[in-house]
Amino acid sequence: MAWLHTWLGLCFGWLLFAIFFTGTLSYFKEELSHWAQPEVPVRAVDTRTALGNAQAYLAQQAAQADTWYIMPPTSRQAALEVMWQAPPGAGSRFISKPLDPASGALVAARDSKGGDFFYRFHYELELNYPFGRWLASAAALVMLIALVSGIITHKKIFKEFFTFRPGKGQRSWLDGHNAVAVLALPFHVMITYSGLVIFMAMLLPVTLMTVYKGEPAGFYQALFPNAFPAPAKGEPGTLVALPDLYDQAQRQWPGARFSRVEVQHPGDQGARVVFYRHGGDRVAYLPGASLAFDGVTGQLIESAIPGDGAMLVAGGFYGLHMGQFAGPVERWLYFVFGLSGTAMVGTGLVLWLTKRQLKHAREARPPFGLRLVATLNLAGMAGLLLAVAGFLTANRLLPVHMVGRAEWEVRVFFLTWLVSLLYAAWRPTRQGWVHQLSVAAVLYAVLPLLGMVTTARGLPQAIAVQDWAIAGVDLTLLGAACMLAWLARKVAVKSATRVAPARVARVAP
Amino acid sequence: MLVAALLCYAGFGCLCLAMERHHQGVLGRKPGRLLQVALRVAAALLWLVALAQVMWAAGWAIGLAQGVGLAMASAGMLVGLLSYWPRLALGLAALAIPGALVAGLA
């Protein structure tokens, strides 16, 4: 069991570290996206007005489109987003525009993927469909095995539940690895298992084929009963005013928030308007919960909350994984537990290496395997932190009107990671750690300053207008800079004591 | 949620004192068998009250998620404090119970 835990953990450790870390960042996806597009104004949330403005804009810009998608602003997402299918041959499949929810005017925001980049990377790893999802799922399965085998390997974790002995080298790393694992164990098990549940239709299609008699489309029909409209009638019709429909929807489901309003066949006699309920209104994520209205008469056609039995159980896991229901306190808890999962993987990787480095402490040049792991540890952990900093720095420094700007941000992310890897290969030592952590600390500290210089919504301005998303990201960046500087200092002090020959003699077998 | 967080913290404080090593480390003597059992029962009761409070306040589903989250967070905080300032950590646990009462009544 120990063997399984050790080697599975090592082989998938770097990947799991990246998945955990970007997933942790994704709990603040909307905040990061807003930080990445500081031009979007923050208004008091008024869904009714926003829908009217969206309708006016789409009627002018996308009258011929088959379906309109309207994402009204929420307390976490400032922009009103409208989307429609691009005409064939336009490159991407959809055209998406951010609007000012109060005026309906197009917001000239910089092109950026923002928090969405980390979110997609978390489960697709920038690979093409379906390879990224399969790899992420494999990692989740390995994580589940590592968790179970870890509980068996480190069997003292419950006996030593409250034990962390700092400043004792290898002992402290092991204590830390056990502490972050056992203290947030319910979170680790939930997040790993639910990660697999999210992709159940892809991972276990056999069940789907059996239950739906070889036609998996039936599953999606059951999950999203309002997503498959009848074909357009071909006779022109006038679309009912969306704010009036919103009032009706509120009468049906008092107090409900809606994450998406879909207008199917706008301008046709057979138009339909579907209001999708916001996932944050309950724990279980039931994406098909929606109200469908006739787009011309405004009559309610169907009120659907698909979610009983198995669907509710799966939706419960899905919802717990995504945490859309979380308010500010719960969201920060999610963030902290996500970091603890990242730290669990990270400490495990460090443990593997330090344990074996002790055996080879007297050799002038450690074996290739150890050098390789040392390199990948450094690039996989400190390098990822650097790459994230690179992405955010690119967001602040690239020209606002640059062509392909969002793609360049991603490129800077990977280029930074590559540079870190090359540097790590050249210097996979404690000194290398000190250098990379120091650079990361400086970058994270500089980011809020860059925001003050290159945008109109720097930290002081954000606090002044109570834009807590941007202020929160900036303050967290400063906190991260302090943490990294502290870590770099700690490693530096440690490596200074390591050079003393007496120390090496003591640990040699 | 503050009430539940304080109760969870106090609960883990009790559980911690029910273990010989920590009891000896903080109070300087070994706990008796009866005291150990009493501390464990107290811990379980404190968690149950905490869970009931959040579930009553936020509904069973969100309350359950909050309860487990707060338990994990308070245990993490206790371990963090315990490693550096063990007396402070358990002193705070003792204060957490009246603190929860005040927060609950306020």
pLDDT tier, A223 (very low <50, low <70, confident <90, very high otherwise): confident
Sort out which chain B residues have CB atoms less than 8 A from A173's CB and list them: none
Sort out which chain B residues have CB atoms less than 8 A from A283's CB and list them: 61-62, 65
- Given a cut of 70, whether residue A12 has pLDDT beyond it is yes
Of the candidates A162, A183, A283, the beta carbon closest to that of B72 is on A183
Measuring CA to CA, which residue among A281, A195, A76 is closest to residue B62?
Answer: A281
> Nearest-CA residue of chain A relative to B75?
A183
Q: What percent of chain A has pLDDT over 90?
A: 80
Best residue of A158, A162, A189, A281 to probe chain B, by most B CBs closer than 10 Å: A162
Best residue of A177, A182, A183, A194 to probe chain B, by most B CBs closer than 10 Å: A183
- Quick one: which H or E segment has residue A94? strand A94-99
Which residues, numbered 25 to 54 in chain B, qualify as contacts with chain A under a Cβ-Cβ cut-off of 8 Å? none
Measuring CA to CA, which residue among A32, A18, A200 is closest to residue A126?
Answer: A18
Of the candidates A184, A320, A325, the beta carbon closest to that of B72 is on A184
- Quick one: which H or E segment has residue A201? helix A200-203
Give the CA angle between residues A247, A76, A101 to the nearest 5°: 50
Chain A contact present for B69, CB below 8 A? yes
Sort out which chain A residues have CB atoms less than 8 A from B62's CB and list them: 282-283, 325
Measuring CA to CA, which residue among A341, A429, A346, A336 is closest to residue A380?
Answer: A346
Of the candidates A163, A179, A329, the beta carbon closest to that of B1 is on A329
Cβ-defined contact of B66 to A337 (cutoff 8 Å): no
Chain A contact present for B72, CB below 8 A? yes
User: Nearest C-alpha of chain B: how many angstroms from A329?
Assistant: 9
Question: What pLDDT is recorded for position A323?
Answer: 96
| Section A235-249 average pLDDT | 96
pLDDT tier, A505 (very low <50, low <70, confident <90, very high otherwise): very low
Question: What pLDDT is recorded for position A507?
Answer: 41
Q: What percent of chain A has pLDDT over 70?
A: 97
Sort out which chain A residues have CB atoms less than 8 A from B73's CB and list them: 333, 336-337
User: Nearest C-alpha of chain B: how many angstroms from A183?
Assistant: 6
Question: What pLDDT is recorded for position A498?
Answer: 60
The 10s digit of each residue's pLDDT in A251-309 is: 999 999 999 999 999 999 999 999 999 999 999 999 999 999 999 999 999 898 887 88
- A227 touches A29 (CB < 8 A): no
| Section A374-386 average pLDDT | 97
Helices (H) and strands (E) counted in chain A, each on its own, are 19, 7
Cβ-defined contact of B76 to A340 (cutoff 8 Å): yes
For the stretch B43-63, what's the b/e string if a residue is b when 16 or more beta carbons lie within 10 angstroms of its beta carbon? beebbebbbebbbeebeebbb
User: Nearest C-alpha of chain B: how many angstroms from A164?
Assistant: 6
Sort out which chain B residues have CB atoms less than 8 A from A337's CB and list them: 69, 72-73
Question: What pLDDT is recorded for position A308?
Answer: 80
Best residue of B9, B72, B74, B85 to probe chain A, by most A CBs closer than 10 Å: B72
> Nearest-CA residue of chain A relative to B14?
A162
| Section B18-26 average pLDDT | 89
Cβ-defined contact of A316 to B61 (cutoff 8 Å): yes
List the beta bridge partners of residue A261: A70, A275
User: Nearest C-alpha of chain B: how many angstroms from A330?
Assistant: 7
Question: What pLDDT is recorded for position A478?
Answer: 98
The 10s digit of each residue's pLDDT in A15-36 is: 999 999 999 999 999 999 999 9
Q: Cis link prior to A509 (omega < 30° from 0)? A: no
User: ipTM of the assembly?
Assistant: 0.95
Question: What are the φ and ψ backbone dihedral angles of B89, each rounded to 5 degrees?
Answer: -60, -45
User: How many whole angstroms separate alpha carbon A244 and alpha carbon A252?
Assistant: 13
Higher pLDDT, A209 or A333: A333
**CA Rg, chain A, in Å?**
26
Sort out which chain B residues have CB atoms less than 8 A from A333's CB and list them: 69-70, 72-73
Question: What pLDDT is recorded for position A502?
Answer: 41
C-alpha torsion sign, points A157, A160, A161, A163: negative
Cβ–Cβ contacts within 10 Å for residue A90, how many?
A: 10
Cβ-defined contact of B16 to A162 (cutoff 8 Å): yes
| Section B49-55 average pLDDT | 97
Best residue of B79, B81, B90 to probe chain A, by most A CBs closer than 10 Å: B79
Sort out which chain B residues have CB atoms less than 8 A from A179's CB and list them: 76, 79
Q: Please report which residue ranges of chain B form alpha helices under DSSP H.
A: 2-17, 20-27, 33-58, 60-84, 86-105
- Given a cut of 90, whether residue B106 has pLDDT beyond it is no
